[in-house]
Amino acid sequence: MASEISGRVRRLKWHELGPFTVFDVETTGMSPVGDRIVELAALRVDTDGSEREFHTLINPGRPIPPGVISVHHITDDMVIDAPHFSTVGKMFLDFAAGSTLVAHNARFDLGFLQESLARCGLPLWAGKTIDTVRLVRKTHPGLPSYRLQSLRAYFHLESTDKMQAHRADSDVRWTMQVLETALTKALNMQQ
């Protein structure tokens, strides 16, 4: 896609296809019905390229199993004073309003989001959603793995000492970089 400006063609930038809200959840387990969200992070990029962040721990109202703590390192002590999803859900919907939700393996994250919204009597997400796993499979077919940490290594994604896998705020940053890489390649393929 390109647009005509003063008689010359200008390449569209990936974020101009947005706005996008990349989000990620960490949970007490794998079941959206039986488990709960303990962390929600999002990064919204608007069509002008500006970014806004959303991040909160969430009190799940139940203990976090030790096996799950060993994955994301979020403990009961960390969430004891955090808000419940009933408070966070409306704020997140307002934050993401008018954008396309993006997640890596979106079925998991969107399943937890929708179930949590329904449980609290909040409206379900009715907007568009992009799964970066499916997108990258189309733009970069044949990679040995499409797990986020594998793509992080393959694409040499930016990282800092504070970023750690399986924490929502870090995973959102890496997913945003994967989205940018895939959409930029898709746009260049259309030139």
| Nearest-angstrom CA–CA distance, 179 and 135 | 8
Shortest CA distance to 172 belongs to which of 54, 18, 84, 13?
A: 54
Respond yes or no: is residue 55 known to be catalytic: no
- Helices (DSSP H) in the chain: which residue ranges? 66-72, 76-79, 85-96, 106-119, 132-139, 148-154, 168-189
Residue 38 contacts residue 79 (beta carbons within 8 Å): yes
* DSSP letter (8 states) at residue 147: S
* Neighbouring-strand partners of residue 24: 41
Q: Which helix (H) or strand (E) holds 60?
A: none
Q: Which residue has the tokens 């096996």?
A: 67
Please identify which of the residues 55, 84, 140, 166 carries the catalytic annotation. 166
Long-range contacts at 143-151 (CB < 8 A, ≥ 24 apart): 148/104, 148/105, 148/174, 148/175, 148/178, 151/178
Instruction: Please give the positions annotated as active site.
Output: 166
